[in-house]
């Protein structure tokens, strides 16, 4: 959304406010990000906007590497209704921590060598694993090691995801809009879909907009080697069938035009997670209380219910030809996790068609 200090564009800002806040739930996926960003508003009636971007992410030390191209289209009808669609593809590779604690000696971890019902698919050079036949059996398992005094990581991490989001915002009258969204996401070992809806009401000459929305998500986990039983020893045997969870979220938002150059948004979000919430690839170390020597590795176990709450404050500021975004988010849940997130970005136009947007991100979490 392009804010400006020119009076002739103030009306466009006020008109866009209702469209923007009504679109909080449209074409979103995942409860964590729902409604937490003041997004750019598409062009005027009868226009279509296409955006494309590629995200590159690399952690130090050969850790996770991500490549994420995405394409989005936004169509504004003559009556002001908005259709949004977005396609995203993720490719993740590298090494990811397996949850075990570091130790002064070499640690060895065992996983299944193949998916249930399939032939052994791991070779001695595949994912830094080696194949081992369990003594006295014909069972072949895969093993990988962590060097002394290092954080244990699974170097064979690899995943791909495709996601499609679609949303529609409908104007019932100049003050009231409703939005509906639907999302699907597919990974090798995880599938998800979600549906959302919201209603927004503009007040005080459209300087203030109130929004109330609901989001429902259904996730299905199908780990590559089956679902492990919580708190059982890490092993190379076949695990159980997949499992699922549901996520329900409610959001209440307020968006306020402070002046010609400043737009502010406040959201309160509460959600309920129910079902399987473990990471099937993570373990916890059981260590000797005196020496710290790892005695065994157990598959993690998390509660099957969780209540989340968050408060978000976002600001969009017009600073001459540039637009700055400043936001803060506080989160806590029934598991005792608290986090704070701060973001600062500046959208700098290079021409009528191109811009750059450097961003600073701060995150802190306690458990």
* 360: three-class secondary structure by DSSP: strand
Q: Which of 123, 126, 129, 58 is nearest to 92 (CA)?
A: 58
Q: What is the pLDDT of residue 33?
A: 39
Provide the strand spans (E) within the chain.
Answer: 47-58, 65-76, 82-97, 107-112, 130-133, 140-146, 153-173, 176-187, 190-203, 208-221, 243-259, 262-275, 283-287, 294-299, 305-319, 322-333, 338-349, 355-356, 359-366
**Tens-of-pLDDT digits for all 367 residues of the chain?**
334 333 333 434 434 444 444 333 333 333 333 345 455 556 788 899 999 999 998 888 778 889 999 999 999 999 989 999 999 999 988 888 999 999 999 999 998 876 655 555 444 434 467 888 777 777 788 889 999 999 999 877 788 999 999 999 999 999 999 999 999 999 989 999 999 999 999 999 999 999 999 999 999 999 988 999 999 999 988 889 999 999 999 999 999 999 999 999 999 999 999 999 999 999 999 999 999 999 999 999 999 999 999 999 999 999 989 999 999 999 999 999 999 999 999 999 999 888 899 999 999 999 7
- Per-residue confidence (pLDDT) for residue 141, from 0 to 100: 85
Whole-angstrom Cα distance, residue 143 to residue 137?
16
Superfamily of segment(s) 7-366: monomeric porin ompg (2.40.160.40)
What is the pLDDT, as a whole number, of residue 9?
Answer: 39
User: How far apart are alpha carbons 340 and 331 in whole angstroms?
Assistant: 6
**Dist CA 164 CA 340 (whole Å):** 29
The sheet that has 130-133: what strands, in order across it?
A: 107-112, 140-146, 130-133
Full-model pTM: 0.80
Q: What's residue 134's pLDDT? A: 72
Q: So where are the chain's domains? A: 7-366
Q: List pLDDT tens digits, range 85-104.
A: 999 999 988 888 999 999 99
Instruction: Label residue 253 exposed, middle or buried (CB < 10 Å: 0-12, 13-18, 19+).
Output: buried
Residue with the two structure tokens 């209704």: 81
H-type alpha helices, the chain: 10-22
Cα 237 to Cα 74, 140, 225, 296: the distances in Å are 48, 9, 8, 16
Query: 19: how many CB neighbours lie within 10 A of its CB?
Result: 22
Closest CA to 217 of 199, 200, 234, 192: 192
Q: What is the DSSP letter of 25?
A: S
* pLDDT at residue number 133: 79
Beta partners for residue 325, in sequence order: 316, 345
Whether 258 contacts 288, CB under 8 Å: no
Q: Look at phi and psi of residue 23 and say left if phi exceeds 0, alpha if psi is from -120 to 50, else beta.
A: alpha
């Amino acid at each position: 959304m392009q804010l400006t200090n020119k009076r002739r564009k103030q009306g466009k800002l006020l008109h866009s406010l209702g469209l923007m806040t009504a679109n909080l739930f449209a074409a979103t996926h995942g409860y964590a990000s729902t409604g937490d960003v003041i997004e750019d508003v598409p062009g005027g009636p009868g226009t279509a906007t296409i955006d494309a971007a590629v995200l590159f992410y690399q952690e130090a030390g050969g850790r996770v590497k991500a490549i994420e191209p995405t394409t989005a289209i936004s169509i504004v009808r003559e009556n002001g209704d908005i259709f949004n669609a977005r396609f995203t593809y993720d490719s993740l590779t590298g090494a990811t921590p397996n949850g075990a604690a570091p130790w002064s000696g070499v640690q060895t971890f065992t996983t299944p060598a193949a998916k249930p019902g399939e032939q052994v698919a791991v070779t001695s050079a595949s994912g830094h694993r080696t194949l081992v036949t369990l003594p006295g059996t014909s069972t072949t398992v895969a093993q990988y090691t962590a060097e002394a005094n290092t954080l244990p990581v699974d170097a064979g991490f690899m995943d791909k995801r495709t996601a499609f989001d679609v949303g529609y915002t409908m104007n019932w009258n100049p003050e009231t809009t409703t939005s509906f969204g639907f999302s699907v996401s597919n990974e090798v070992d995880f599938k998800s879909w979600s549906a959302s809806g919201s209603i927004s009401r503009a007040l005080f000459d459209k300087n203030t907009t109130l929004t109330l929305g609901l989001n429902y998500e259904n996730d299905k986990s199908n780990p590559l080697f089956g679902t492990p039983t919580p708190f059982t020893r890490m092993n190379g045997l076949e695990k159980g069938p997949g499992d699922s969870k549901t996520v329900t979220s409610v959001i209440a938002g307020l968006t306020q035009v402070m002046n010609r150059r400043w737009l502010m948004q406040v959201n309160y979000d509460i959600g309920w997670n129910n079902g399987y919430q473990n990471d099937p690839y993570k373990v916890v170390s059981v260590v000797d209380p005196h020496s710290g020597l790892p005695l065994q590795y157990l598959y993690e176990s998390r509660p099957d219910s969780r209540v989340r709450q968050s408060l978000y404050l976002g600001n969009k500021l017009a600073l001459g030809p540039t637009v700055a975004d400043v936001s803060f988010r506080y989160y806590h849940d029934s598991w005792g996790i608290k986090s704070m997130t701060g973001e600062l970005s500046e959208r700098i136009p290079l021409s009528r068609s191109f811009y750059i947007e450097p961003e600073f991100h701060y995150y802190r979490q306690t458990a």
